[in-house]
Amino acid sequence: MTAKAVFTMKLEPGLRDAFMAEAAAADRPAAQLIRELMRAYIEKSRASREYKEFMRRKAETARADISAGRVHASEEIEAALAARYEASQE
């Protein structure tokens, strides 16, 4: 992989030394590990954002259903399911 950009960061010497020691112990280049950590962070962050958007849309749909009167009490739903189950057993 050819480097296309250089990323410089400041961190505590102890953190750097511990990271470099762990990279060496794993026989892996520190830059490769950093790239993997960055990719994992991006994936996790993106998934979290997508989930929050999914939940926002779901809540919006539920609010619209409630406003339109498209709601049922749990007792109604349980009775309908029980009736459906009974019908399937015959």
Query: Is residue 60 domain-resident?
Result: yes
Q: How far apart are CA 27 and CA 21, in angstroms?
A: 10
Confidence of residue 1 (pLDDT cuts 50, 70, 90): low
Average pLDDT, the chain: 94
Q: How many domains does the chain have?
A: 1
Query: Is residue 80 domain-resident?
Result: yes
Please report the pLDDT score of residue 3 as a whole number. 67
Query: Is residue 84 domain-resident?
Result: yes
Query: Is residue 57 domain-resident?
Result: yes
pLDDT at 86 over 70: yes
* Residue the block writes with tokens 């609010």: 63
User: What's the mean pLDDT in 35-51?
Assistant: 98
Query: Is residue 5 domain-resident?
Result: no
Contacts of 88 by beta carbon, 8 Å cutoff, 6+ apart: none
Confidence of residue 4 (pLDDT cuts 50, 70, 90): confident
Query: Is residue 4 domain-resident?
Result: no
Q: Which domain holds residue 32?
A: 13-89
Please report the pLDDT score of residue 2 as a whole number. 72
User: What's the mean pLDDT in 24-39?
Assistant: 97
Strand extents, DSSP E, the chain: none
